[in-house]
Amino acid sequence: MNVRKVKSAFLYVKNIALVLLCLVLVTAILPIPVSAQKDDKSKVVRVGWFDSSYNIKDASGRRTGYCYEYERKIAAYTDWKYDYVEGSWVELLQKLENNEIDVLGGVSYTEERSGKMLFSSYAMGTQEYYLYIRADQIGDFNEDYSYFNGRKIGVNKGTVQAELFRDWAEIHNISANLTELSSSEAESVEMLTSGRLDAYIPLDNYLSVDSIIPVAKIGSSDFYFAVNKNRADLLSELDSALGKIKDENRFYGQELLAKYTQDPGASLFLTSEEKAWLSEHSTIRVGYLDNYPAYCDKDDNNGELTGALKDYLEKASDCFANVNITFETTAYPTISDAQQFHVAVILISQNDSELIPAYSEHRTVLEYLTDKTRS
């Protein structure tokens, strides 16, 4: 009986020993959890935050934007933790020079700045810069750059946009009053909409303000992450991370730009000449095939156009902020009929007809309309 108890106790102790041995082996083989490593190694990096498409806060205070998303991607490689320092772009650039922040995104390279800060080896992207005016001034501007003579033009102080405007103004023989601002983007836009500025050159093309529009491109430049000149250690880690991001997706920067910025080249306002052309062609007639479902078809019950073309024309009818366009559609039963229609339209259009082919090898309805209104 005692022998059995001794054997049982021995087996119990043996099993416990095996379990402990397994735990020791597992602990030795598995790495320390990533979260534990991060707590020990993470650097706190002071990053500049200025309101724009680069840095956006929603109503709940959640952050997003071009720079923000790029910085989060970088943190995945560097394990940085960010301490965001808010201010206007001009204020933050000065803080970078004064060693009050470590990194600022969206900074164009200049020789003068290169002596005051470090720049990443890889550009974040390329930005085009435009002159914005109030929408109610589009008629006075009328695509004539002499409009800016004697006007008060706002630009952020110490930015590359200021130099680009001076070069642009010299090329176009413009003598304007360039005013360098230290205000926030929202404050600068308010100065334009209230009439205290006649035009404004923003930091980027995100300005989603219906009352102002871009009217002239003054130039473009690459922009970078700028780093505190005393933090070469951060620059080395930053360049390494950017290189890996480029290897992973060479178009990462372009995709972010497309996500957070808009193309200011397509104005939502027609000029006086364009409006005059439309007033002479009050109805734009469009031909289409009546049996090409999904794209276009004729409703058998009411004879009206259906399909994607209908949606497209509805969108085109009010795509401009200062005019509405009326379309009249005509159905054709076969491709042959549509092709004959297309030939007729080409001939008739030389006599300024407003007939537009829905089927064309070279242009869509809206492209044709744009060509006509701008010719």
Element (H, E) at 58: none
Percent of the chain with pLDDT over 70: 73
Residue 75 buriedness (CB in 10 A; 0-12 / 13-18 / 19+): middle
Q: For 349-359, what is each residue's pLDDT tens digit?
A: 444 444 444 44
Closest C-alpha among 99, 113, 198, 197 to residue 160 = 113
Q: What is the pLDDT of residues 265-317, one digit of tens each?
A: 545 666 667 777 777 777 777 778 787 788 888 888 888 888 888 888 888 88
E strand segments, the chain? 44-49, 56-57, 63-64, 81-86, 103-108, 117-119, 125-134, 152-156, 177-181, 199-201, 212-228, 283-289, 291-292, 296-298, 305-306, 326-332, 355-357
What's the burial of 203, exposed, middle or buried (CB within 10 Å: 0-12/13-18/19+)?
buried
- The DSSP output letter for 370 is H
Model pTM score: 0.62
Non-local (6+) Cβ contacts of 294 within 8 A are 307, 308
Residue 19 backbone class (left: φ over 0; alpha: ψ -120 to 50; beta: rest): alpha
> Quick one: pLDDT at residue 207?
60
CB 206 within 8 Å of CB 106: no
Q: How far apart are CA 100 and CA 120, in angstroms?
A: 19
pLDDT value at position 269? 65
Bridge-partner residues for 331, per DSSP? 288
Given a cut of 50, the residues of the chain with pLDDT beneath it are: 1, 3, 6-7, 13, 26, 28-39, 266, 343-366, 368-375
What's the pLDDT at 208? 61
Length of the chain: 375
